[in-house]
Amino acid sequence: MAFEGLSSRLQEITRKMRGKARITESDLKEMLREVKLALLEADVNYKIVKEFIATIQEKALGQDVLKSLTPGQQVVKIVKDELVELLRRNRK
* Residue 57 lies in domain: 2-91
The DSSP letter of residue 62 is: T
* pLDDT score for 47: 92
Cβ atoms of 49 and 40 within 8 Å: the answer is: yes
Read off the CATH number of the domain in which 48 is found: 1.20.120.140
Note if the pTM is more than 0.95: no
pLDDT tens digits, one per residue of 31-87: 888 888 888 888 888 999 999 899 888 877 655 555 556 777 777 788 888 888 887
**How many structural domains are present in the chain?**
1
With a CB cutoff of 8 Å and minimum separation 6, the contacts of 47 are: none
* pLDDT score for 3: 65
Distance separating alpha carbons of residues 67 and 92, to the nearest angstrom: 35
